[in-house]
Amino acid sequence: MAITKSKTLKIDYFSYIKAFFNLMKPRVMSLVIFTCAVGLLIAPTKINFTDTFFSLLAVALGSGAAGALNMWYESDLDSLMTRTCLRPIPTGKLTKNQALIFGIFASVISVIGLYIFSNLIAAITLTITILFYVFVYTIWLKRKTAQNIVIGGASGALPPVIGWAIATNGITLEPIILFFIIFFWTPSHFWALSLYKTEDYKKARIPMLPLTSGVKATKLNIFIYALVLLPVAISPYLLNFSGLVYFVSAIILSIYYIFISYNLLKEKNPVLEKKIAAKLFGYSILYLFLIFAFILLDKVI
């Protein structure tokens, strides 16, 4: 009996830890860490491995803290949507109070940790990122305007700026270029998601663009942002921030992004629309990863 009870306790303890990990939106966190790391690694100033490791760990914790506070505030919406109904709070694995306390505690620790292992500018930028995501995007914009993701996307675009600040103790034109790549990528990424998850957003009464302006307008906006993304993506090369390897890669990746967006724009069959929107959403994640990977590769070469 003692052995059985012990095993049960271990399983429950593991599930509890896993719930807190899922509360931090690990998929989003991984992209945050990667773009932040690229900003740090391509900076002209190099820092030691220990400071690099703990700085990135602090940024990861800050991202997770913002995710936890987002889930705390949106737990009522999450329970209504098929995409989010299995998150820790809707399933009862964690309570709203636990998420709130964890989110606040992790936010404070992440900012203090980043200040200790890097500098004040990086810590302030991380603070702005967390506060913007929680208060401007989650609490203020998301339930009120279809432009929620356009304005709120600024928080998701700041990690490479944080990475650059960690290494250089400053912010220059280069990380701002990286910021704009993510900023102009974000709307088409999330609008593609909202096109094939429209029913979810309708149930939760979130004013995403397909619900406020219609599918046709959403597809047009996606296509326009895809077009704008091309010159923004190649701007590192045009501004002598990257070389030919990145330039060629960015053009190929961006043209294919435009190609899928155009196919979505001209498609009139609702079933095929959702399939193309899902394809675009999946490719958009790969696109951002590869853009930043090639920026890093170009610097290494």
Predicted confidence at residue 15, as pLDDT, reads 86
Which of 170, 185, 213 terminates a domain? The answer is: 170
Q: Which one-letter DSSP state was computed for residue 83?
A: T
Q: What is the CATH number of the domain that holds 164?
A: 1.10.357.140
- One domain for residues 33 and 135: yes
Which of 145, 170, 195 terminates a domain? The answer is: 170
User: Distance (Å, rounded) from C-alpha 118 to C-alpha 105?
Assistant: 20
Which two tokens mark 37? 């790391």
Please tell me the least confidently modeled range out of 9-13, 127-131, 193-197. Answer: 9-13
Whether 128 is in a domain gets the answer yes
- One domain for residues 93 and 212: no
- One domain for residues 264 and 227: yes
Q: Is 151 exposed, middle or buried (0-12, 13-18, 19+ CB in 10 A)?
A: middle
- One domain for residues 153 and 258: no
- One domain for residues 157 and 134: yes
Which two tokens mark 153? 């996307």
Q: Is the pLDDT of residue 133 over 70?
A: yes
Q: How far apart are the first and last CA of the chain?
A: 61
Helices and strands per DSSP (H, E), number in the chain: 14, 0
Whether 13 is in a domain gets the answer no
Q: Is the pLDDT of residue 9 over 60?
A: no
pLDDT (tens digit per residue) in 55-70: 999 999 999 999 999 9
Whether 7 is in a domain gets the answer no
Share of the chain above pLDDT 70, in %: 96
Q: Is the pLDDT of residue 286 over 80?
A: yes
pLDDT (tens digit per residue) in 259-280: 999 999 999 999 999 999 999 9
Whether 6 is in a domain gets the answer no
User: Distance (Å, rounded) from C-alpha 75 to C-alpha 297?
Assistant: 40
- One domain for residues 166 and 178: no
Return the amino acid letter for 301: I
Which of 142, 170, 198 terminates a domain? The answer is: 170
Whether 4 is in a domain gets the answer no
pLDDT (tens digit per residue) in 167-220: 999 999 999 999 999 999 999 999 999 999 999 899 989 999 999 999 999 999
- One domain for residues 211 and 299: yes
- One domain for residues 160 and 225: no
Banded pLDDT at 10 (limits 50, 70, 90)? low
Banded pLDDT at 2 (limits 50, 70, 90)? very low
Whether 2 is in a domain gets the answer no
User: Distance (Å, rounded) from C-alpha 40 to C-alpha 51?
Assistant: 11
pLDDT (tens digit per residue) in 72-127: 999 999 999 998 999 999 999 999 999 999 999 999 999 999 999 999 999 999 99
- One domain for residues 166 and 276: no
User: Distance (Å, rounded) from C-alpha 215 to C-alpha 195?
Assistant: 7
- One domain for residues 176 and 164: no
Whether 10 is in a domain gets the answer no
Predicted confidence at residue 3, as pLDDT, reads 46
Banded pLDDT at 14 (limits 50, 70, 90)? confident
- One domain for residues 221 and 153: no
Banded pLDDT at 251 (limits 50, 70, 90)? very high
Mean pLDDT within 143-158: 92
Mean pLDDT within 12-28: 90
Which two tokens mark 42? 């391509």
For residue 24, give every residue at least 6 positions away whose Cβ sits within 8 Å of its Cβ, in sequence order, or none: 63, 64, 65, 67, 68, 106
Domain that holds residue 118: 22-170
- One domain for residues 62 and 163: yes
Mean pLDDT within 16-38: 94
Single out the residue of 52, 70, 65, 67 nearest to residue 109, CA to CA. 65
The mean predicted confidence, pLDDT, of the chain is 94
Q: Is the pLDDT of residue 153 over 50?
A: yes
Q: To 10 degrees, the CA torsion angle through 280, 283, 284, 285?
A: 140
SS3 (DSSP) at 165: helix
Whether 15 is in a domain gets the answer no
Predicted confidence at residue 11, as pLDDT, reads 52
How many domains, the chain?
Answer: 2
Tell me the residue length of the chain.
Answer: 301
Share of the chain above pLDDT 90, in %: 89
Single out the residue of 159, 197, 202 nearest to residue 56, CA to CA. 159
